[in-house]
Amino acid sequence: MDGDRVAAAGSVDFGRVAGRAARLYTIENDQLRARVTDYGGILVSLEAPAPGGGREHVLLGFDAAADYAAHRGSFGALLGRNANRIAGGTVTIDGETYALSKNENGSTLHGGAVGFGKKFWSVTAAGPDHVALSLVSPDGDQGFPGQVEVTATYRLAGAALHLTFDAQTTKPTPLSLSAHPYFNLDGVEPRDCLDHRIEIFAARFLPTDEKQIPTGEQRIVAGTVFDFSAPLPIGARIRAADLQLRYGRGYDHYYILPQDSVGRLRLAVRAHAAKSGRVLEVLTTQRGVQFYSGNNLTGSAPGRGGLYRQSAGFAIEPQGFPNAPNQPDFPTTILRPGEAYHEEIVYRFLSADQKAAP
């Protein structure tokens, strides 16, 4: 189906970015309602069942596309070509070195200055419970080699939102796609999420240097402030005198999921909000997840419900190992011609008395 005709038939105006009109799509079932814009493939809102009936917003967000373009933080955006950081903004593939767009401390973050979250996507399909977006990233885009064609599909199924990525390339290139919704499971009033209890089904994490680049070590979480193997409030140890917490100004680290289940959809993180009783589970096919406690939210962005200050929301970003192209001991994130990239993220909601098996 032609993308322009889909846009005309199933969307509403969401303002303008750089002189171009953005469109907003709503998908809904009897439990969830989500809104997605073609600018950045951004998940603008997600409404989950409320304790007293009806639905309640659980994502930080804004009311116009221009607000997303103006503010840092990748609110709700699709991340690519490479989620997270690439040290020094360079990669070497098969003996050839590529200079990438540098947009954070001399490194490449989330694909560079104009990553996938800052581009207009084409909507190729839209229905009551799904919307599919596609993007062609040309050879040399932000310095990355190869033309990459990506499809991202949001789909509702019961109390879960599924996000799938499919891609292919014409040259070997780093590809690690993800999404960056900020959750506050108690709603989006101006309050923090530090009392949310988090459980991460990972035994190891990646320590970083002062620029938040993984050092190459894979550290056991047991006995550290990064141990969320049992449910623990985000804020319980966030102010501990730990060098890693100082580097990230809180939690902003990659957790390694069991590698014997790579490629299979499995539970990665469970979050529980005491006030609302709402439970969110994040499942993924990826090798690990970045857990980010919203440390760099400054209150400069007036969003839905008020000012978003530090830890107003948290993000769980399933993805490949950060800086993998520059760490030979990390699992590769290089996609090659003829290979099919396919990954999935599921955001699943439970009531307080439910608990699915990991």
The answer to whether 79 and 116 are in contact (CB under 8 A) is yes
Residue 356: inside a domain, yes or no? no
Task: Report the CATH number that the domain containing residue 69 is assigned in CATH.
Answer: 2.70.98.10
CA–CA separation, 253 vs 241, rounded Å?
Answer: 16
Give every CB contact of residue 167 below 8 A, 6+ residues apart in sequence.
148, 149, 150, 151, 175, 177, 335, 340, 341
The answer to whether 81 and 98 are in contact (CB under 8 A) is no
How many beta carbons lie within 10 A of that of residue 246, not counting itself?
11
Instruction: State which residues form the domain around 118.
Output: 3-350
Residue 357: inside a domain, yes or no? no
Q: Determine which one of 110, 180, 196, 253 is catalytic.
A: 180
Residue 310: inside a domain, yes or no? yes
Q: Tell me how long the chain is.
A: 358
pLDDT digits (tens, 9 = 90+) for 300-349: 767 888 899 999 999 999 999 999 999 999 999 999 999 999 999 999 99
- Is 344 among the catalytic positions? no
pLDDT of res. 190: 63
Number of domains in the chain: 1
Local confidence band at 3 (pLDDT 50, 70, 90 cut-offs): low
Average pLDDT on 76-96 reads: 98
- Is 180 among the catalytic positions? yes
Residue 227: which region, alpha, beta or left (left: phi > 0; alpha: psi -120 to 50)? beta
pLDDT digits (tens, 9 = 90+) for 157-204: 999 999 999 999 999 999 999 999 999 999 977 689 999 999 999 999
How many beta carbons lie within 10 A of that of residue 95, not counting itself?
5
Q: Determine which one of 281, 317, 343, 344 is catalytic.
A: 317
Residue 358: inside a domain, yes or no? no
Local confidence band at 352 (pLDDT 50, 70, 90 cut-offs): low
Give every CB contact of residue 42 below 8 A, 6+ residues apart in sequence.
36, 65, 68, 75, 76, 77, 78, 117
Residue 92: inside a domain, yes or no? yes
Residue 125: inside a domain, yes or no? yes
CA–CA separation, 342 vs 358, rounded Å?
Answer: 22
Residue 208: inside a domain, yes or no? yes
The answer to whether 272 and 196 are in contact (CB under 8 A) is yes
Residue type, position 100, single letter: L
What is the model's pTM? Answer: 0.96
